[in-house]
Amino acid sequence: MRMNATSEIEEARIDLTPMIDTVMFLLIFFMLTTVLGRKESDLGIQLPGLVKQYQTLKMPDEQIIEVTAAGLVILNGRSYDPPESRDMPRLVQTLARFRAASQAANTRALVTVQADDQTIQQRVIDVLNACAAAGISGVTFGMGEG
């Protein structure tokens, strides 16, 4: 009788070796595929901030761009880019600095375009494109000299 009980116990055993092999394989797989990256907050990087000003600068609320009948673009009494220039890089650069200064002062950059009655409208479009390239969306039209 005893032999039958022993043989039944041996038949009921489950071999755990394949399961242990599978668990070890999964453990090694997950260890190899895990990316050990540092979060940005853990890096010791100091980002540049705004420079504190010692004097308060009076910022104009808006810039007025005049477009003459000859196609000259005048901002603050200074002529920008010849009439043949369609992309107006000097005006774009000046307007971009105005926008950056306005953002630093927590104000909205506003531009008013005043075109002469005899101005070719393509030149006004060039000025509007320059404002868009500089990131200024607050553009209005004023009465030009005519």
Same domain, 69 and 22: no
- 12 lies in the same domain as 84: no
Q: Encode pLDDT of 80-130 as tens digits.
A: 888 888 888 899 999 998 888 888 878 888 888 888 888 888 888 899 999
Read off the pTM.
Answer: 0.56
The answer on 83 and 12 residing in a single domain is no
* Residue 134 located in a structural domain: yes
Residue 110 lies in a domain: yes
Q: Is the dihedral of CA 101, 106, 107, 109 positive or negative?
A: positive
In the chain, how many domains are there?
A: 2
Question: 56 lies in a domain?
Answer: no
Domain span holding position 11: 2-33
SS3 content of the chain, % helix, strand, coil (to 5): 40, 15, 45
Residue 83 shares a structural domain with residue 24: no
Mean pLDDT of the chain: 80
Judgement on whether residues 28 and 80 belong to the same structural domain of the protein: no
| Residue 18 forms part of a structural domain | yes
36-51: per-residue pLDDT in tens? 766 666 666 666 666 6
Q: Is there a domain that residue 57 lies in?
A: no
pLDDT at position 84 is 85
Pairwise CA distance, residues 113 & 141, whole Å: 5
Q: How many CA atoms lie within 13 A of 143 on its CB side?
A: 1
Q: Is residue 25 part of a domain?
A: yes
Q: CB–CB of 118/69 below 8 Å?
A: yes
Q: For every residue of 103-136, which 3-state class applies, written as one string? A: HHCCCCCEEEEEECCCCCHHHHHHHHHHHHHCCC
The domain that holds 70 is classified in CATH as 3.30.420.270
Statement to judge: residues 133 and 82 lie in one domain: yes
Task: Please give the C-alpha separations between residue 2 and each of 6, 18, 112, in angstroms, as whole numbers.
Answer: 6, 30, 106
Q: Does a structural domain hold residue 55?
A: no
Distance CA 68, CA 119 (A): 6
Cβ neighbours of residue 88 under 8 Å, at least 6 residues apart? 73, 80, 81, 126, 127, 129, 130
* 76 and 16 part of one domain: no
Same-domain check for residues 81 and 119: yes
In a domain, 86, yes or no: yes
Is the domain of 118 the same as that of 74? yes
DSSP, res 70: T
